[in-house]
Every structure is written in structure tokens, then in C-alpha cells.
Amino acid sequence: MGFEPWKEIDVDDISSGAHQFRKELSKLNLRQDLEEEIISQINEITSETHNIIFVFSDKEWIVTGIHVPDEALDGQESPILMRGANPRHIIAAFSQSEIRKKIRAFDELEIITGLPQESDEGWTHELEHMCEDVMVKLRTNPPESWDDLLK
């Protein structure tokens, strides 16, 4: 499973209209089932309260990064991967305290520098790093092998 860089689609594209978002998404040339799963996950982000950090695809899987209470990870290191409801959907769970700590660090960077773009760029870089961590875990322990663990 080769990892290809994903195209960022701004959440503002979603709020400006579902049609525009679908148009941008179609440019990624994803399978129809993956495209529909991304739309389903993104719809959750547009609600006022959600725990989604990111959604991305490597054209084989849709990955939704979420934050969960630390105790839900049972002391394991983030991210913890699990299957979603769709067979091509993976959920990557990250510790809430870890996410809050990262957000605070970028907020402080903005205060110190007075440059909002610095914290925005830093957060974008951090999200990319988190996505890469997920991809490494997916490559080293592909979901196809998870079924064997349940036998």
C-alpha cells in the first residue's frame, strides 16, 4: 500500500456548499465508496460538537483521526487503530490530553510571535505528522491481519 500525499480540502469548502466540496473531492479520483465515506465523516465535522481531528485517504483506506479520553486508550500509545463501520474505514484514536497539549503549544506560539499563520502552519505540519504516524501503523500492521487476531 503506497502512501501518496493527500490533497488538503479546506473545511470552508464544505461550509460554502456541498456541491463545491464534492467537486474538489472528485478531483482526487477516489473509488466511489471511499468518496462517500469521506463525505460521511466530514459531515460530522460540520456539527458543533465532534471529536474528529482529521480525515484523509491514501486511495485505499479512509482514516478518521479522533480524540478520546486517555483512559479509553488503556495506557497504549497513540494512535490506536480500529475499523470503522465501513470495511475501508479506519479510526485512529489519539489521547485528548496529547491533542490539548499540542493545541496549547501552537496557541502559545501564536501569542509569542503575534503571527497566527505561524501557529496555523505548525498545526498543519503536526496534523501531517499524525497522519504519517497512522500510515506507518497501517503499513506495519495492515487491517487484513487484524481478522486473524480475532480467530
Q: What is the pLDDT of residues 56-103, one digit of tens each?
A: 888 888 899 999 999 999 989 889 999 988 888 999 999 999 999 999
Helix (H) or strand (E) holding 51: none
**Rounded Cα distance, 123 and 108, in Å:** 12
According to the model, what pLDDT value does residue 16 have? 55
**Rounded Cα distance, 107 and 109, in Å:** 5
pLDDT band of residue 15 (cuts 50, 70, 90) is low
According to the model, what pLDDT value does residue 1 have? 35
**Rounded Cα distance, 42 and 30, in Å:** 15
Q: Is the peptide bond before 69 cis (omega within 30 degrees of 0)?
A: no
According to the model, what pLDDT value does residue 60 have? 86
According to the model, what pLDDT value does residue 127 have? 92
Burial of 13 (0-12, 13-18, 19+ CB in 10 A): middle
Domain ranges of the chain: 11-142
| Lowest mean pLDDT across 41-50, 56-65, 113-122, 126-135 | 41-50
Query: Which residues, including other chains, have CB under 8 Å from residue 68's CB and lie 6 or more apart?
Result: 51, 93, 94, 95, 96
> Which three three-digit cell numbers place residue 42?
466530514
Determine the residue type at 85.
A
Helix boundaries (H) for 16-142 = 18-26, 32-45, 96-113, 116-140
Q: What is the pLDDT of residues 17-58, one digit of tens each?
A: 566 677 777 787 888 888 888 777 776 666 666 788 988 888
Give this prediction's pTM: 0.72
